[in-house]
Chain A
Amino acid sequence: MYVAVKGGAEAIANSLQLLAQTRRGDPQAADLGVAQIREQLGLAVDRVMAEGALYDRELAALALKQACGDVQEAVFLLRAYRTTLPRFGYARAVDTQAMAVRRRISATYKDLPGGQVLGPSFDYTQRLLDFQLLADGEAPAAPEDAEDPVAPTMPGVLQHLDRDGLIEPSPADDATETPADVTRAPVTYPAGRDTWLQMLARGDEGYLLALAYSTQRGYGNAHPFAGEIRLGEVAVGFVPEELGFEVEIAEVTLTECQMINQFQGSEAAPPQFTRGYGLTFGHNERKAMSMALVDRALRSRELGEQLVAPAQDQEFVLAHSDNVEASGFVQHLKLPHYVDFQSELVMLRELRRRFHESRYTREAAE
């Protein structure tokens, strides 16, 4: 008798068993510790935290282990956990100007107060496979201290433009309204910038990268400069109701990107530079830069620019940015659809019958 997907309970149990086995791999190889992932696969952890929208290195590392290294699956695990957490309230907006900078570069000024701080970066690695890592890795030596120690905090690059009115004032400066919360209220279109920045911060890195790339290749009208990219630690402040004053509850690593873009000016505004903004948990410059480019593209409507490119299309960009949603819906095609398929079969047979009948009638008439 036909069973196929029926009798599912047992099949599911067995599938889970097989998955656990596959995850562990060859037991001859040492079990991978969560601490190892946290410390040695830190950028994967960062990405999982960013797209999982939860800052917890330990849990993100655990999610990566449980997901056999599948980043999107790990993101999903973290999100499903995050959704069950109680809310105590909203933290104060973090002050990235007060960031303890580990890396800060600007592509627009050769030198500037605070200097260019290269910090840790793949940029100049030459991408040669390091076969030494095949053997057990010794802890590398710390670099020699620079002659000038990095300043504890440094002013943002865009301030220099701001002072001369060459760049639009940061919209955040006059923001008095409470920002939207995309995890607590459904997004409706047209969405405001607060909403889309949140969605982009949680959005899939690959997707944002492709969209950002498209704006550089002529789909859109971007002429961007990387005004500043900074990486470092920022304090998170929270004001508990019962205390009434701010306490520091955490320190998080953030990557921030301020993109500078040309703007032609309009009747109301003189020509000036405009901003695109990117911010992400952990160290992820690719994501922060992509986000800043897409943010700027989404501002096209507000700036009265022609809307011609996919990256400028708010509904298109935002509605498809979440990889938990996208991955789920694409993969739901694995679920049985045989009821719908049966409907289509019945219809198709009927249409084919009619087709052949009418052809038969036509031929008979000829």
Chain B
Amino acid sequence: MSAHAARGADHPILSVRHLSKRFGRVQAVDDVSFDLFPGEVLGIVGESGSGKTTLLRAVAGQEAPDTGAVLYRDRWGGLVDLHALPEGRRRRLHRTDLGLVQQNPRDGLRMGVSAGANVGERLMALGHRHYGTIRQSAHDWLARVEVDPARLDDPPAQLSGGMQQRLQIARNLVSEPRLVFMDEPTGGLDVSVQARLLDLLRGLVGELGLAVVLVTHDLGVARLLAHRLMVMQAGRVVETGLTDQVLDDPQAAYSQLLVSSILPV
């Protein structure tokens, strides 16, 4: 699927405007703006310390920015500022329309309860009260992310790192979100495990028409998943464009450096 096709919809699902965030004397994110369209995967790349994770946390509503707005277009076409929403509505959006896949699955999973309960949590939060149905959904989602459904009642700690990450993805997708934030979703995994997980992610994103903001330092991952790339350095966006363009013909000096030094052959 080309980025252009994915941008079939007229209106962006997410508009970030003039976002800034400072920690002490460090300007972590400096006046960043971008749009994301339904079905589009936007990769944010840069070295560690470039501000990409802080940007994601601010965009995903986990950390309040100092200035700027994160505008989300809901299912009915209305624009809401994620940081201006009352707590209740913001939390509701986060368990319905939005998803967040963290680099360390332990941060995104409830380690004290079974895989099934992890997947079923969003459904129960939305008021589902039939154990059998919830369990069936969890079962189906485990199968869909290629985790053996026989592991349904196992706690996450008993699953491998790759499986934990799949479980985290299932836990997010069960509510059929429209927009998912991913922070180094394949980081910390073996190369072979990474490859299969990337395949799975690519398939799911396409099937479900998800819009994704993906943060990664791995340009290989960015090339596989992202339609468009944003290159960050010291809190600022230094280049943005279609993935192939940015990776094959980087314009900014910093992008050239990044591509030449890190991109695996």
- Genuine A/B complex: yes
Binding site for B on A (CB under 8 A): 266-267, 304
Closest beta carbon of chain A to B57's beta carbon, Å: 16
Interface: B92 (CB within 8 A): no
Interface: B264 (CB within 8 A): no
How far, in angstroms, from A304 to B22 measured CA to CA in the complex? 12
How far, in angstroms, from A304 to B26 measured CA to CA in the complex? 14
How far, in angstroms, from A267 to B20 measured CA to CA in the complex? 15
Q: Chain A contacts of B24 at CB under 8 A?
A: 266-267, 304
Q: Chain B contacts of A304 at CB under 8 A?
A: 24
Could you tell me the dominant secondary structure of chain A's interface residues?
loop
Query: In the complex, which range does the number of interface residues on chain B fall in?
Result: under 10
Q: Chain A contacts of B25 at CB under 8 A?
A: 266-267
Q: How many interface contacts (CB-CB < 8 Å) are there between A and B?
A: 6
Closest beta carbon of chain A to B136's beta carbon, Å: 21
Closest beta carbon of chain B to A259's beta carbon, Å: 23
Closest beta carbon of chain B to A135's beta carbon, Å: 62
| B26-67 vs A, Cβ < 8 Å mask (1 yes, 0 no) | 000000000000000000000000000000000000000000
Q: List 6 A-B contacts (CB under 8 A).
A: A266-B24, A266-B25, A267-B22, A267-B24, A267-B25, A304-B24
Closest beta carbon of chain B to A190's beta carbon, Å: 15
How far, in angstroms, from A266 to B22 measured CA to CA in the complex? 11
Q: Chain B contacts of A266 at CB under 8 A?
A: 24-25
How far, in angstroms, from A266 to B24 measured CA to CA in the complex? 5
Which residues 5-36 of B sit at the A interface, judged by CB distance below 8 A?
Answer: 22, 24-25
Closest beta carbon of chain B to A362's beta carbon, Å: 16
Closest beta carbon of chain B to A97's beta carbon, Å: 35
How far, in angstroms, from A304 to B25 measured CA to CA in the complex? 12
Binding site for A on B (CB under 8 A): 22, 24-25
Q: Chain B contacts of A267 at CB under 8 A?
A: 22, 24-25
How far, in angstroms, from A266 to B26 measured CA to CA in the complex? 10
Which 6 residue pairs of A and B lie closest in terms of their CB atoms, listed nearest first?
A266-B24, A267-B25, A267-B24, A267-B22, A304-B24, A266-B25
Q: Chain A contacts of B22 at CB under 8 A?
A: 267
How far, in angstroms, from A164 to B22 measured CA to CA in the complex? 29
Closest beta carbon of chain A to B21's beta carbon, Å: 12
Closest beta carbon of chain A to B219's beta carbon, Å: 32
Closest beta carbon of chain A to B192's beta carbon, Å: 36
How far, in angstroms, from A267 to B25 measured CA to CA in the complex? 6
Closest beta carbon of chain A to B66's beta carbon, Å: 10
Closest residue of chain A to B22 (Cβ to Cβ) is: A267
Closest beta carbon of chain B to A303's beta carbon, Å: 11
Closest beta carbon of chain B to A355's beta carbon, Å: 15
How far, in angstroms, from A206 to B24 measured CA to CA in the complex? 36
How far, in angstroms, from A16 to B24 measured CA to CA in the complex? 62
Closest beta carbon of chain A to B150's beta carbon, Å: 16
Closest beta carbon of chain A to B155's beta carbon, Å: 19
How far, in angstroms, from A304 to B24 measured CA to CA in the complex? 8
Closest residue of chain B to A304 (Cβ to Cβ) is: B24
How far, in angstroms, from A267 to B24 measured CA to CA in the complex? 5
Closest beta carbon of chain A to B24's beta carbon, Å: 6
How far, in angstroms, from A266 to B25 measured CA to CA in the complex? 7
Closest beta carbon of chain A to B115's beta carbon, Å: 21
How far, in angstroms, from A267 to B22 measured CA to CA in the complex? 9
Closest beta carbon of chain A to B68's beta carbon, Å: 18
How far, in angstroms, from A170 to B59 measured CA to CA in the complex? 38
How far, in angstroms, from A266 to B23 measured CA to CA in the complex? 9
Closest beta carbon of chain A to B91's beta carbon, Å: 19
How far, in angstroms, from A77 to B22 measured CA to CA in the complex? 52
Closest beta carbon of chain A to B29's beta carbon, Å: 15
Closest beta carbon of chain B to A272's beta carbon, Å: 15
How far, in angstroms, from A54 to B161 measured CA to CA in the complex? 57
How far, in angstroms, from A289 to B6 measured CA to CA in the complex? 64
How far, in angstroms, from A31 to B247 measured CA to CA in the complex? 91
Closest residue of chain B to A264 (Cβ to Cβ) is: B24
How far, in angstroms, from A304 to B23 measured CA to CA in the complex? 9
Closest residue of chain A to B26 (Cβ to Cβ) is: A267
How far, in angstroms, from A302 to B22 measured CA to CA in the complex? 16
How far, in angstroms, from A149 to B25 measured CA to CA in the complex? 50
Closest beta carbon of chain B to A196's beta carbon, Å: 25
How far, in angstroms, from A238 to B25 measured CA to CA in the complex? 47
Closest residue of chain A to B27 (Cβ to Cβ) is: A267
Closest beta carbon of chain B to A7's beta carbon, Å: 44
Closest beta carbon of chain B to A12's beta carbon, Å: 43
Closest beta carbon of chain A to B25's beta carbon, Å: 6
Closest beta carbon of chain A to B31's beta carbon, Å: 17
Closest beta carbon of chain B to A18's beta carbon, Å: 46
